[in-house]
Amino acid sequence: MDDLVVLRGSGFLIVVAIVLIAVAAIALWGLAGGPLAAQVAFDLTLFIAVVLGYNLFAGTTGYLSFGHGMLYALGGYLGILAANAMASAGWLAGIVAIPVAGLATAMLAIAFMGPLMRVKGPYFAVASLALFLAAGSLVSVVPGLGGSVGLTAVPGVGLNTVTALVAALVLALLGIAGSVLVSKTLFGRRVLAIRDSEEAAASLGLNPALYRAAMLAASGFIVGAAGATYFLSYGGRGYVDPELAFDPRYNTLMVLAAIAGGLGSFTGVVTGAILVKLLDNFLAMYSPEIVAALGFNPSEAPLLVTITPYIVLGSLVALIAIAAPRGIYGLLEGVIERRFAKLVGKATEIVETQRGKEAG
């Protein structure tokens, strides 16, 4: 959002249009291609929506959250529960269950994560991670959630891949709209002002807790609805269990994507989401080959095969954090600014030379 705040007129419209076209192109490619293309496009579009939703909270408040994986998981459970409760509506139940799960997740986000915002910085990050881990353990013993076996959607209410892809596209567009509203509305600018200087904002009569809760709810809605979309389409009929829902890898990926792209940057987090997801898919597919290239036998080192994507992605994000603290967006912004400065310098030199000739 920080990048959109400074843009005006055509520049603002061009940036938003580029992101819209990129996201729509991914979805259209999936719709026009075969089943494999649709699945890949769905996973990527949904991940973009999740990271945009994550950025609506972490990027606007400055609170680095490792608890959004819990919201994604809760959305999955709530989506299947809602769809099963409306099973008489048939295929429509799965579609209606997505916003229902999003709204319920938004309320649970405020209830569970809201109190954690009394602490800041690394304390909040650790507390939110502890909440994610605790929720993953507790959900298997909560009555009505299927225990370790999980929940299966009633036949007929699950989402097929095409429907899920369209739902993911809608959620990504909501994330884009939310980012634009934060950048261009008085409410959004107040949120950013609180992030940049809570004391100054409070002295002007703003309630930091209220604004942060609003952003947490908006973030929780998108992330929870995304979780509902994914698990309502899982396996072609809809299924969720604690191991699938509370996946530490997915929880980590959304944070890495936001940091790599540039936390708080609209274009940055979209870029980070695309690059991190594609790289993660590549690493998941070729981890055995990478381990073999390092001189290990993949069959004798299954743990190394499992953690290789984490090592590569973590190292990459660490390098980006060192080389470009503001992420990919900050790096590109610096390059563009330097090139622009050179162009301005050359143009100024030409004008001054021409004026000198005219004066002579």
pLDDT 10s digits, 16-49: 777 888 888 888 888 888 888 899 999 999 999 9
Check residue 328 and give its pLDDT.
74
Mean pLDDT of 271-275: 91
Check residue 315 and give its pLDDT.
85
Mean pLDDT of 79-101: 96
Maximal CA-CA distance, the chain: 90
List the single range of 127-131, 218-222, 356-360 with lowest mean pLDDT. Answer: 356-360
Q: For the chain, list the strands marked E by DSSP.
A: 151-152, 239-240
Q: How far apart are CA 308 and CA 278, in angstroms?
A: 15
Q: How far apart are CA 148 and CA 141, in angstroms?
A: 8
Check residue 47 and give its pLDDT.
97
Paired tokens of 278: 């594609």
Asked, for residue 119, whether it belongs to a domain, the answer is yes
The total number of structural domains in the chain stands at: 1
Q: What angle do CA 258, 53, 157 make, to 5 degrees?
A: 130
Within 10 A of 11 (CB to CB), how many other CB atoms are there? 11
Check residue 7 and give its pLDDT.
56
Asked, for residue 75, whether it belongs to a domain, the answer is yes
Check residue 359 and give its pLDDT.
66
Q: Is the pLDDT of residue 116 over 60?
A: yes
- Rg of the chain over Cα atoms, rounded to whole angstroms, equals 22
Q: How far apart are CA 300 and CA 280, in angstroms?
A: 23
Highest-confidence segment of 96-105, 244-253, 264-273, 317-326: 96-105
Q: Which residue is listed with tokens 């036949």?
A: 155
How much is the pTM?
A: 0.88
Asked, for residue 244, whether it belongs to a domain, the answer is yes
Q: Which helix (H) or strand (E) element contains residue 305?
A: helix 302-323
Q: Is the pLDDT of residue 340 over 60?
A: no
Q: How far apart are CA 307 and CA 33, in angstroms?
A: 32
Q: How far apart are CA 152 and CA 241, in angstroms?
A: 9
Containing domain of residue 231, as a range?
2-274
Asked, for residue 344, whether it belongs to a domain, the answer is no
First to last CA, the chain: 50
82 in Cβ contact with 100 (< 8 Å) = yes
Check residue 318 and give its pLDDT.
80
Mean pLDDT of 289-298: 87
Asked, for residue 343, whether it belongs to a domain, the answer is no
Mean pLDDT of 133-144: 93
Q: How far apart are CA 261 and CA 271, in angstroms?
A: 6
Asked, for residue 338, whether it belongs to a domain, the answer is no
Asked, for residue 360, whether it belongs to a domain, the answer is no
Asked, for residue 324, whether it belongs to a domain, the answer is no
pLDDT band at 264 (very low <50, low <70, confident <90, very high): confident
